[in-house]
Amino acid sequence: MLDTHQLKQQFDEQGFVVVERLLDPQIDLQPLINDYAMLLDQLADEWYAAGRIPSLFSDLPFHQRLAAVISHADEKMYRHFDITLAHGPITEDSPIHLSEAVFNFLRHPKLLDYIEVFIGPEIYCNPIQHVRIKPPEAVIAQNIKPSSLTTKTTWHQDQGVARPEADETEMLTVWIAVTDATIDNGCLCVVPGSHRAGLTTHCPIGDHGGLISIPDKYIEENVLPLPVPAGSVLFLHRLAKHTSLTNNSDTIRWSYDLRYQPVGQPTGRDEFPGFIARSRSNPESVLDSFEAWQKLWLETRSYLAENGRPNRTNRWSDDNPACA
């Protein structure tokens, strides 16, 4: 039985809670790994035939092969692994990975049981979500610009990646380790208690305003690394300052960062589709069809390809004096 009082007390005081080994690597994570193994086979064949990767890397074990392929993948190539659409312009063929294994993972009962502790029983799956498969940075090909999802994460607060209309939304980040996350391979770091100070200035990096970073002068000294074994879950307050370390190991660090909120509150990314994952008051409103979820994203992609999307995914401007 969950100790809800202790969990909520730590979350309120520290801005985060870690639940080690909440998910079983074989029962809960292996379906995802199998799903990505099939995707990797498909993409490696296509990219090798097109001359985009130097080898199929077929002789390597899965995790090493995944690292080898992704180390040659630029931003657009990596998006074939991600579970949302990219920042910037959308086309009819903008890549996104929409599988039944991913959909089932977003609705996993073990996750929802804990999410309910923090935001209540009316749970909406927010569409600001990513998979991060980080190869060792030393092996990333020098001739490509890698995705920001495969390298060290900049300091930020997750509230900063949403638009201002979601400032009052009780958005909860749910970060899941698919592989062990260690200091050597780039685990997350947080500043405990930083959520109590409100939203800090962020500065845009790169095109389309998608990547942002808190200037170093606004980061406190009490930085805490959070190494965790595979299957562990970090529940993170939307205003907690956090980053990740560099992957200096010889294998990948694989994680998902998902976001959930109470039903009816703005998502901060309203051009993308979310869905009701749990409702105690109206169970019929829950989306339990993979095909319906997949259709939502495909129809959204078609609409945005034809009509465009907002130029910026957040509120931050290059001309802020703090960014000089």
pTM: 0.95
Question: How far is the CA of 206 from the CAs of 114, 293, 317, 321, in angstroms?
Answer: 36, 31, 12, 18
Contact 269, 247 (CB under 8 A): no
Q: Report which secondary-structure segment, H or E, holds 290.
A: helix 290-307
The confidence score (pLDDT) of residue 25 equals 96
Residues 204-251 pLDDT 10s: 886 545 688 998 889 988 999 999 999 999 999 999 999 999 999 999
Could you write out the DSSP letters of every residue in 169-211? S--EEEEEESS-B-TTTT-EEE-TTGGGG-PPP-EEESGGG-E
Instruction: Round to whole Å and give the CA distance between 156 and 91.
Output: 28
Instruction: Round to whole Å and give the CA distance between 237 and 18.
Output: 12
Q: Which residues on adjacent β-strands are paired with residue 276?
A: 124
Instruction: Round to whole Å and give the CA distance between 129 and 149.
Output: 11
Residues of the chain with confidence (pLDDT) below 50: 208
Q: Which residues on adjacent β-strands are paired with residue 145?
A: none
The confidence score (pLDDT) of residue 310 equals 78
Residue 50 burial class via C-beta count within 10 angstroms: exposed 0-12, middle 13-18, buried 19 and up: exposed
**For the chain, how many helices (H) and strands (E)?**
7, 11
Fold of 12-323: Jelly Rolls (2.60.120)
The confidence score (pLDDT) of residue 277 equals 98
Instruction: Round to whole Å and give the CA distance between 49 and 26.
Output: 33
Q: Are strands 203-205 and 123-134 parallel, antiparallel or unpaired?
A: unpaired
The confidence score (pLDDT) of residue 208 equals 47
68 φ, ψ to 5°?
Answer: -65, -45
Tokens (6 digits) for 206: 């790169």
Q: Report which secondary-structure segment, H or E, holds 5.
A: helix 4-14
Buried b (16+ CB within 10 A) or exposed e, 222-248: eeeebbbebbbbbbbbbbbbbbbbebe
Q: Report which secondary-structure segment, H or E, holds 65.
A: helix 62-70
Tokens (6 digits) for 101: 């294994």
- Nearby residues of 227 by Cβ (< 8 Å), 6 or more positions away: 180, 181, 182, 183, 187
Instruction: Round to whole Å and give the CA distance between 176 and 130.
Output: 11
Q: Where are the domains of the chain?
A: 12-323
